[in-house]
């Protein structure tokens, strides 16, 4: 039995300890030599290790999966040669083993059926499920065109499905990572510096003298190398300035925590620009050489004094001045961090612009301790016929938002709702690797769209809530059980990492590359999948890149030298930025021409009415959104979210820590489940806070079901960013109910 064997290992260590005991009198019984020998044999046996990269979040740290003789995955350890993790995974990566062992995993394909008038799922064979998908897709292709089949995806499986969709002629593809997450910052930075920030962010945190975090909570988001570098920066004596209405972990590490009133960040940043310019603290040579529109900016921010900002942000003028001077003193080794999840109030591209402009004024882009010039290596595309040219796709669906550079999930969903002026009807939907009931706000839109669909497929490893809407559910095996695309990292230097199965897929789960190929063949586009095993694709690609699968199996990660030149600008370098003007655009003609503000302006946003509190949400270091809530290892660390309430509010409402409450939002939407109160000084009195990703409705998630509240359920008021279509979610207000509103109803 494996359990007793494991215990033997432990005893071995202890027994040996007993022998070595200095005060042997303490150990009355002495060591058990019989056990010792048994254990020594076991200890001397090494685990087998297999190269992989993590899929518990999007950071994709390279790692080693350790398996024992029974072929069980025992632990996962970071790959020391990997710049994403430097040999140290985060709790989710270490707990990734729970993704594999979770007994609640999807085990077989499922097909929706009706039994005695009730809709339910029945187990199906792969053959049957794939045939059904292909025939339903064919029907849509014949009647509406391939474009009417949409894909909403996330993570590594997304790439295989994107290939499938483009093979059969659909470009109707979107992912929440854009319009529900980092889209605005990419647009904001691109319109300023000409380039996306990208992932991982090219922030030179380890060498910075001053790190400014605006609502970004590194340490609670475990973006691994960012967290590691922030720790290095603390060691190096860097000053951290955090702007956050909540005492985040990062705020607690900061020399300056600016406890800002929510929704007023742009006002603070305008006043910082004012100070930097009025006091002549900006990098004059840099701005002169690389900037465009500085005079307009100077004129624009003249009025935005710290005194003006004080009334809006509640940050005292001397604090605003002091922090601006700290940044200038550190410049150019200063980072106004672009953040990651930045869809807040609908003016998010402009807020990202303000961050970018501050970096421009401080001269930190392309400077040591600021932003470095990142580099990656291109993975050659495995040969396949040319893709079709769809008549329309994500671009046309999102055309209302001129600077959208990826599909907008909410618009793709809207396209599923029939209306006279809908020229781009979405009829079938495939969702993979993202639980859209929690990753996309506005449940009404979601349900209306899904209701209108002819057919919906969900691919996941777990019975997430979204699977409940599907006609067909396909069980994906976890990252530990499959080959996947090569991870090409964008960093200080290029590197690649491979994912090799450590074990064979559990249950009847399959890798997505296989599903894509099977569906492709059934749709008559088999020529795009000219391989029997995805391993062949990687083998070919690695060979093209001057290595081999054999080598990569041994090293897991391969680092390549930089080819694009130095990490930072040379002094007085004549550098061309990739904006239209070749300069850092403080004043954006592009935005102006599209009818938007050419420079950021502050607009006030609605405030919670009496008795309501702003609903803020964020991350916990041991969870990745909703996908890890049921992971046995990570659920152990945090099994529910709590409602953070300021003691003043708790006193007024007579709330105690641990008390169960329900929430109702401004649109009269009541949370399905309850949440426990956590009375803490760490939040303001005008807002409440919870960790995102809890309140799972699917009863098949035995650990996560009914635990905590799903914040997304309460986000029904969306402030859409008119520039790129991001869905601002921080303008929702909740009231706290102490009586169970569902007392007489069944959930």
Partner 1 sequence: MRYAMVIDTLKCVGCSDCVVACQTENDVPHGYCRDWITETVDGSYPNLDLELKSERCNHCDNAPCVRCCPTGASHIVDGGIVLVTENECIGCGACIESCPYDARYQHPDGYVDKCTFCHHRLEKGQLPACVSVCPTKCMYFGDLDNPNSEVSQLLKNRKHKTLAPEAGTNPHVFYLI
Interacting positions 54-93 with partner 1 (CB under 8 A): 74-78, 85, 87-91
CB 699 within 8 A of CB 653: no
> How far is the CA of 13 from the CAs of 30, 38, 364, 453, in angstroms?
14, 11, 52, 59
Closest distance of CB 178 from partner 1, Å: 27
SS3 of residue 708 by DSSP:
coil
Which stretches of 1-61 are assigned E, i.e. beta strand? 48-53
Q: DSSP character for 600?
A: -
Site string for partner 1, 419-458 (x = CB under 8 A): ----------------------------------------
Q: Is 252 in the site for partner 1 (CB under 8 A)?
A: yes
Task: With contacts defined by CB under 8 A, name the span among 147-155, 166-174, 252-260, 657-665 that binds partner 1.
Answer: 252-260
Residue 76 or 537: which CB sits closer to partner 1?
76
Q: Is 255 in the site for partner 1 (CB under 8 A)?
A: no
Binding-site size for partner 1 (CB under 8 A) equals 72
Instruction: Tokens for 662, please give them.
Output: 């329900």
Among 54, 149, 174, 247, binds partner 1 (CB under 8 A): 247
Closest distance of CB 252 from partner 1, Å: 4
Task: Quote the CA–CA distance of 356 and 343 in Å, as a whole number.
Answer: 16
Closest distance of CB 251 from partner 1, Å: 8
- Near partner 1 in 557-586, by CB under 8 A: none
- Near partner 1 in 656-695, by CB under 8 A: 680-685
Closest distance of CB 3 from partner 1, Å: 8
Of 402, 281, 373, 362, give the one whose Cα is nearest residue 577. 373
Task: Quote the CA–CA distance of 192 and 208 in Å, as a whole number.
Answer: 21
Closest distance of CB 233 from partner 1, Å: 10
Task: Quote the CA–CA distance of 601 and 160 in Å, as a whole number.
Answer: 42
Task: With contacts defined by CB under 8 A, name the span among 168-176, 181-189, 228-236, 332-340 that binds partner 1.
Answer: 228-236
Of 428, 418, 526, 513, give the one whose Cα is nearest residue 472. 428
Task: With contacts defined by CB under 8 A, name the span among 231-239, 302-310, 473-481, 709-717 that binds partner 1.
Answer: 231-239
Residue 388 buriedness (CB in 10 A; 0-12 / 13-18 / 19+)? middle
CB 652 within 8 A of CB 227: no
Among 155, 183, 188, 219, binds partner 1 (CB under 8 A): 219
* Beta-sheet strand order (sheet of 173-174): 118-123, 110-115, 472-475, 455-460, 428-432, 149-153, 173-174
Q: Is 227 in the site for partner 1 (CB under 8 A)?
A: yes
Of 144, 125, 65, 51, give the one whose Cα is nearest residue 99. 65
Among 646, 698, 712, 732, binds partner 1 (CB under 8 A): 646
Task: Quote the CA–CA distance of 593 and 281 in Å, as a whole number.
Answer: 31
CB 357 within 8 A of CB 366: no
- Near partner 1 in 34-53, by CB under 8 A: 35, 43
| Dihedral sign (CA 506, 508, 514, 516) | negative
Task: With contacts defined by CB under 8 A, name the span among 157-165, 214-222, 394-402, 595-603 that binds partner 1.
Answer: 214-222
The string of DSSP codes covering 400-445 is TSTT--S--HHHHHHTTS--TT--S---EEEEES--HHHHS--HHH
Task: With contacts defined by CB under 8 A, name the span among 23-31, 541-549, 577-585, 732-740 that binds partner 1.
Answer: 23-31
Paired with 456 in beta bridges are 429
Residue 75 or 325: which CB sits closer to partner 1?
75
The string of DSSP codes covering 151-193 is EEE-HHHHHHHHHHHHHHT-B-EE-HHIIIIIHHHHHHHHHHH
Q: Is 97 in the site for partner 1 (CB under 8 A)?
A: yes
Residue 218 or 615: which CB sits closer to partner 1?
218
Q: Is 642 in the site for partner 1 (CB under 8 A)?
A: no
Among 67, 139, 231, 697, binds partner 1 (CB under 8 A): 231
Residue 27 or 570: which CB sits closer to partner 1?
27
Closest distance of CB 376 from partner 1, Å: 23
Task: With contacts defined by CB under 8 A, name the span among 16-24, 288-296, 573-581, 656-664 that binds partner 1.
Answer: 16-24
- Near partner 1 in 304-343, by CB under 8 A: none
Task: Quote the CA–CA distance of 213 and 100 in Å, as a whole number.
Answer: 35
> How far is the CA of 591 from the CAs of 272, 302, 443, 647, 724, in angstroms?
22, 21, 31, 44, 11
Residue 227 or 342: which CB sits closer to partner 1?
227
Residue 183 or 245: which CB sits closer to partner 1?
245
Residue 429 or 557: which CB sits closer to partner 1?
557
Q: Is 235 in the site for partner 1 (CB under 8 A)?
A: yes
Residue 378 buriedness (CB in 10 A; 0-12 / 13-18 / 19+)? exposed
Task: With contacts defined by CB under 8 A, name the span among 2-10, 300-308, 350-358, 367-375 that binds partner 1.
Answer: 2-10
Task: With contacts defined by CB under 8 A, name the span among 17-25, 406-414, 462-470, 593-601 that binds partner 1.
Answer: 17-25
Task: Quote the CA–CA distance of 102 and 703 in Å, as a whole number.
Answer: 10
- Near partner 1 in 581-640, by CB under 8 A: 621-622, 632-634, 636-638
Among 1, 23, 115, 747, binds partner 1 (CB under 8 A): 23
Site string for partner 1, 162-201 (x = CB under 8 A): ----------------------------------------
> How far is the CA of 48 from the CAs of 51, 76, 461, 566, in angstroms?
10, 11, 25, 39
CB 667 within 8 A of CB 594: no
């Amino acid at each position: 039995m494996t359990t007793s064997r494991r215990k033997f290992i432990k005893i071995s260590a202890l027994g040996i300890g007993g022998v070595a005991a200095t005060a042997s009198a303490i150990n009355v019984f002495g060591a058990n030599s019989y056990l010792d020998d048994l254990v020594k044999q076991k200890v001397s046996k090494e685990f087998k290790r297999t190269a992989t990269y993590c899929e518990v979040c999007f950071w994709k740290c390279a790692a080693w999966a350790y398996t024992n003789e029974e072929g069980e995955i025992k632990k996962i350890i970071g790959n020391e040669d990997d710049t994403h993790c430097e040999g140290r995974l985060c709790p989710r990566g270490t707990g990734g083993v729970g993704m594999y062992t979770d007994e609640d995993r999807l085990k077989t394909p499922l097909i929706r059926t009706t039994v005695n008038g009730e809709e339910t799922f029945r187990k199906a064979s792969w053959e049957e499920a794939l045939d059904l998908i292909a025939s339903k897709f064919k029907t849509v292709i014949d009647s509406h065109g391939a474009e009417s089949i949409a894909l909403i995806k996330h993570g590594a499986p997304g790439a295989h499905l994107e290939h499938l969709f483009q093979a059969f002629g659909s470009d109707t593809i979107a992912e929440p990572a854009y319009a529900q997450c980092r889209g605005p910052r990419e647009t904001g930075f691109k319109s300023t510096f000409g380039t996306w920030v990208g992932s991982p962010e090219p922030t030179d945190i380890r060498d910075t003298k001053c790190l400014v975090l605006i609502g970004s909570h590194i340490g609670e988001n475990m973006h691994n190398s960012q967290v590691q570098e922030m720790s290095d920066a603390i060691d190096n004596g860097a000053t951290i300035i955090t702007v956050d209405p909540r005492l985040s972990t990062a705020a607690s590490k900061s020399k300056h925590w600016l406890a800002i009133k929510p929704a007023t960040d742009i006002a603070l940043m305008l006043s910082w620009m004012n100070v930097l310019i009025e006091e002549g603290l900006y990098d004059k040579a840099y701005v002169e050489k690389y900037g465009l529109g500085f005079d307009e900016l100077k004129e624009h921010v003249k009025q935005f004094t710290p005194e003006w900002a004080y009334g809006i942000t509640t940050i005292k003028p001397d604090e605003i001045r002091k922090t601006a001077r700290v940044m200038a003193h550190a410049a150019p080794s200063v980072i106004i961090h672009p953040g990651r999840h930045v869809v807040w109030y609908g003016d998010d591209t402009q807020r990202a612009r303000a961050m970018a402009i501050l970096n421009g004024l401080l001269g930190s882009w392309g400077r040591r301790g600021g932003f470095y010039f990142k580099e990656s290596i291109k993975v050659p595309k495995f040969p396949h016929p040319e893709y079709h040219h769809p008549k329309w796709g994500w671009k046309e669906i999102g055309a209302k938002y001129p600077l959208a550079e990826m599909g907008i999930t909410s618009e793709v969903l809207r396209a599923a709702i029939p209306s006279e002026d809908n020229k781009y009807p979405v009829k079938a939907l495939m969702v993979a690797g993202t639980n859209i009931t929690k990753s996309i706000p506005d449940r009404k839109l979601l349900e209306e769209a899904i209701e209108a669909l002819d057919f919906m497929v969900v691919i996941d490893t777990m019975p997430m809530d979204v699977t409940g809407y599907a006609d067909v559910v396909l069980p994906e095996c976890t990252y530990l059980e499959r080959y996947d695309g090569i991870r090409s990292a964008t960093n200080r230097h290029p590197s690649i990492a491979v994912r090799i199965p450590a074990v064979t897929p559990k249950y009847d789960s399959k890798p997505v590359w296989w599903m894509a190929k099977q569906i492709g063949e059934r749709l008559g586009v088999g020529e795009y999948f000219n391989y029997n095993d995805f391993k062949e694709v990687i083998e070919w690609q690695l060979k093209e890149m001057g290595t081999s699968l054999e080598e990569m199996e041994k090293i897991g990660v391969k680092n390549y030298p930089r080819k694009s030149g130095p990490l930072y600008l040379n002094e007085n370098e004549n550098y061309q930025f990739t904006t239209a003007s070749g300069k850092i655009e403080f004043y954006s003609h592009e935005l102006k021409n599209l009818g938007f503000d050419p420079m950021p302006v502050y607009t006030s946003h609605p405030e919670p009415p009496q008795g309501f509190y702003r609903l803020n949400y964020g991350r916990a270091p041991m969870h990745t959104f909703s996908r890890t809530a049921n992971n046995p290892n990570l659920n152990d660390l945090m099994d529910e979210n709590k409602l953070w309430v300021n003691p003043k509010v708790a006193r007024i409402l007579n709330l105690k820590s641990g008390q169960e409450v329900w929430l109702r939002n401004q649109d009269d939407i009541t949370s399905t489940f309850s949440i426990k109160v956590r009375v803490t000084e760490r939040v303001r009195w005008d807002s409440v806070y919870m960790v995102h990703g809890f309140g799972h409705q699917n009863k098949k998630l035995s650990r996560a079901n009914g635990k905590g509240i799903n914040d997304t359920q309460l986000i029904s008021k969306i402030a859409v960013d008119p520039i790129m279509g991001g869905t601002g979610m921080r303008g929702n207000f909740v009231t706290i109910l102490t009586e169970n509103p569902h007392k007489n109803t069944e959930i």
